[in-house]
Structure 1
Amino acid sequence: MPGDAPRTGRGRPRRRLREGAWGWLFTGPMVLVLGLFLVLPIAMALWVSLLHWDGQSDPFNGNADFVGLDNYRRLFTEDGLDRTLFATSLRNTLYYVLLTVPLQTVLALFLAIAVNQRMLRGRGALRTVFYFPSVTSSIAVSTVFLFLFQGSGAVNRMLGRLGVKGPNWFADPRGLVWLVLQPFGVDRPAPTAGGPLGLPWSEWFAGPSVAMCTLILMAVWTTSGTFMLIFLAALQDVPPELEEAAALDGANRRQLLRHVTLPALRPVLFLVLTLGLISTWQVFDQIYVMGRGAPGNTTLTPAYLSYSAGFDNADYGQGAAIAFVLLGLILLLTAVQRFVLRERDGKPRRHPKGARRAAR
């Protein structure tokens, strides 16, 4: 109203205080739940990683021996079985991550692009078929793969019928590098010292075993459907004007994918890669069902090693230390991945001419 006095800023602090109180009122229960079931257990596990605890007494009443960083020192600096097994688990999981994450990401993107075609018939049925392995129990899938790839399983029988006879490859503890080089007269060298964490260089560069490749195949098959849906939702949000303008200017499918589709999918690509990175470094249930590290610890992972240290060897401090090392490694790799996929300020994206004109 013309005759009203101008408003002052005295009521703004009260309004902000009231809004903040209502915000904490609605978020308080979730914060409390996260504190009780996430933050507090992490703090308790961190304390356990500094103890030598057998799991029988109360570790918070002085009934366990405080050893400080000895559990971490045994993993990185002290020669022994603990460091050897930990290095072996890191080697195995490194190959698992380097092969699984790119394969499942590329396959999921390819499937999403395929089922996003408007002229494709039966798109709903194909989406269901591709997504179905992702909702199947991992224990059930691991059991099926175990029966397929065991010594007397269907895969070895099929290879025998094709004339490929020999030892049970899936029980061979050698890596693929030595298996491929063996016909050329290159044998696996004798283990020597000098590698990271005391593991010989010949073991680091041996490659994944056939059993680990089987786990990689299973992981790609069971996870690509979930990431396909994530990519599909992102593809449907890409402005069609950009694609149409680029097509009118003569851009082919490869240029369209590189200069229009992939830049638009950058945030979703980071999400998929992060989820894949976390899930692959934490792989446990497939390892537990399909051999528990066999053959020859070539499928041993840090997650299963943490479980085995606590529940099999009654050394819960060592198991908690492995879990926190794994947590730190995942956080570090996620930060590196975020840095690599970040938006470069001051560097314009390269689009076809039609895409730039449509963006204006």
Structure 2
Amino acid sequence: MINSRALYGFPFSGIGLALCERLLSRGSRSLRLCLACRNMRRAEAARSVLLTSHPAAQVDLLHMDTSSVSSVMRAAQEFRRRHDRLDYLYLNAGIMPNPQLNVTAFFKGLFSSKIITMFSTGVGILTQKDGVTSDSLSEVFATNLFGHFLLIRELEPLLCRAGQTSQLIWTSSSNAHRSAFNLEDIQHEGGTQPYSSSKYASDLLSLALNTHYNKQGLYSSVICPGFVMTNLTYNILPSFPAFLWTLLMPVFFLIRIIANTFTLTPQNGTEALFWLFKQKPESLDPYAKYHSLASGLVNSYTQPRKMDIDLETSEFLYERLLQLESEVRQKLTEQPKDAHRHPAGSE
């Protein structure tokens, strides 16, 4: 691995798989992918698809569930055992469990000037019912944010090596809103928008990581894929008949003429992820979220937009995450080792 690049991410399907396809299409012989996945059957399927189109590709698999502290710890330990460097860490795992649709607000939005904002952000029409993990953490917070934070901390020796520049790339969302986030309740236990809260927290954390790690050669960036038709999108309306999604697609393409956030396809949604792969990370703006956008002519491009974040809030969040990390590590040392053989959600 000394002369090769290790790329670590969470590609099951959709945007993740499309990103891997684009990266391998660059033709770089030194590129090595490591797909960290919760569902290993889907991981094997993704690997098979990639090797079918790129037979010479180096694609490794790693079992990891970001909602489980012990799973993240084991996965990081296994990665360190296999590899001696890590250049790009794509932080793409995310869930939006039990989305609840405000039907009245939805149909009102269809016939109003807010239709574009409604579809691209879910503002005003979506709430979620969160769960609790086996580590007694809020499920969305653990999966979308804290598991990633622990992974970064565990892989710090590989990410912060002398003479090496490494990059963290977070998949955020246009649904990341300051109004959904509360420093006094970072796990969003008292709210109904845990997804929005977790994505806004990832925006804040990215800024804090740049503050603490840039001098060690580690840089963090945030992207937004736009409105992409993936399993996560379909699950927002689980009872919505498939044929209605099909009927809506022409409408979505028409909306894209005036709303470039409607990227719609996974390929277009990866534009900012792929663009960042080609940039010098030290030249990027830590306060910018890099958006994948698409024109009406299906030309995709990347555009930076300032995030609604500030350094003081990001530092508070970072300190609270460090404190929580210390607490969960202490709990792990106090529990029997065999209690962590089957993390919640593993398959």
Who wins on radius of gyration, i.e. which is larger? 1
Between 1 and 2, higher relative CO (CA 8 Å, sep ≥ 6) is seen in 1
TM range (shorter): under 0.3
Q: Give the structure-2-normalised TM-score.
A: 0.22
Give the TM-score normalised by structure 1.
0.22
